[in-house]
Structure 1
């Protein structure tokens, strides 16, 4: 366990899994596309890729990627979220763990893609962000991709103000040996423009 409580736990008390799942179920029933993150990642992957969904929540993205033929592992610290994921897809791998201590989970390195969607990075415990980025980069294979999505202003966050800037995030990725490959404004791929409120970033681990 991390010695510092993450911002998500501060917001929800670790009891938001069922409500979170109901929210996306309502969106799907209303005709909204709730699989944008999975579609974005799938387009970057070869068939049957290994994917780590870091901060997987209720498993919405990892379950969809598995349906598309990929081998997905989900990790989250929120028991209420993992309970929903395990009920929805009992045959998939769901791990309870702290992203600041991925080593404790005994993960086999060599993931083709690591995903941190759903404002995972802005909702980490303050000060832990560089260590988490290093840990996520460390489990990628050479040439593997770190894909993140994060709000950059209050309108795109469940917080009164942003906690992470893109400059800081890119710096942490560079320190972890990753290079920015692509940046979009949405999961559907619209180009990112400076000052935007949301960013989807693709960073790559060098092949050599």
Structure 2
């Protein structure tokens, strides 16, 4: 069994953490905030009706927007409270409780491969460090040969970008395009955020 994620450790320490997270994004949606930037990037790189895995989907913000754009979305998150919120707020995609470090969607009756895997919202930094390479390997396993994984997270969260690139290489994923924001600004050595589009090596 995989080491418990940093996210679930936070939930164990504060049982209201998931509720706070869910309400935070519901409040932002009610205020009319733009919550679909990641989904717009992923939508732009795919044809209509693409198959997308929203890995670490949270309460469904990104996967829900991609489903509304006409894609076939499966979302997976380790936190049952977030999956319940995704089902309530974004009906349509298939939302599953699951640990990304042990991801085996065919065993759950989900047909693979996917045209894209999206992992937004700093999910990579909430994983247990010992599971990061396993998670990236699972992303590669679930991707179509010409598919891409789109992964975004910020600096200063305990996961250095160089370490991520090494982990991705170990998982047979290589950079296709590196950005510093979801609105397509180029990645530089001093960038405080990374959006990595990775292809199977």
Shift of 1:21: 2.8
Distance in 1, matches of 2:192 and 2:148, equals: 23
Contact 1:51 1:72 in 2 (8 A): yes
**How far apart are the structure 2 equivalents of 1:116 and 1:192?**
18
Q: 1:46 is matched with which residue? A: 47
User: How far apart are 1:106 and its partner, in Å?
Assistant: 4.7
1:8 aligns with 2:7: yes
Conserved? CA contact 2:10–2:17, under 8 Å:
no
Cα deviation 1:179-207 (Å, max 9, x = unaligned): 2011111111111221221111100125x
Structure 1 spans left out of the alignment, 5+ residues: 154-161
Give the C-alpha shift of residue 23 in structure 1.
1.6
2:148 partner SS: strand
SS of the equivalent of 1:66 reads helix
Corresponding residue number in structure 2 for 1:121: 124
User: CA separation in 1, counterparts of 2:109 and 2:158?
Assistant: 30
Q: Quick check: 1:90 aligned with 2:91?
A: yes
- Is the Cα–Cα contact under 8 Å of residues 16 and 80 in structure 1 kept in the other structure? no
**Equivalent position of 2:81 in the other structure:** 80
Normalization by structure 1: what TM-score?
A: 0.88
2:47 and 2:2 map into 1 onto residues whose CA distance is: 38
SS of residue paired to 2:82:
helix
Which residue in the other structure is 2:67 paired with?
A: 66
C-alpha spacing 1:6/1:198, structure 2 compared with 1 (3 Å):
same
Q: Partner of 1:205 in structure 2?
A: 200
User: What is the RMSD of the two structures over their aligned residues, measured on CA atoms?
Assistant: 1.7
Give a deviation string over 1:51-92, Cα, whole Å, max 9, x none. 000100000111100000100000011011011011123332
In the TM superposition, what whole-angstrom CA distance separates every residue of 1:93-113 from its partner, at most 9, and x where no partner exists? 011111111125354221000
How far apart, in 2, do the equivalents of 1:29 and 1:92 lie?
21
- Secondary structure of 2:144 counterpart: strand
Gaps of 5+ in 2: none
4+ aligned runs moved over 4 Å, structure 1: none
Distance in 2 between residues matched to 1:59 and 1:46, nearest whole Å = 21
The alignment status of 1:148 with 2:143, answered yes or no, reads no
Distance in structure 2 (CA, Å) of the matches to 1:94 and 1:70: 14
Structure with bigger helix share is: 2
Q: Alignment partner of 1:69: what SS? A: coil
Contact 2:3 2:128 in 1 (8 A): yes
The alignment's TM-score, normalised by the length of structure 2, stands at 0.91
Instruction: Provide the aligned length of Structure 1 versus Structure 2.
Output: 197
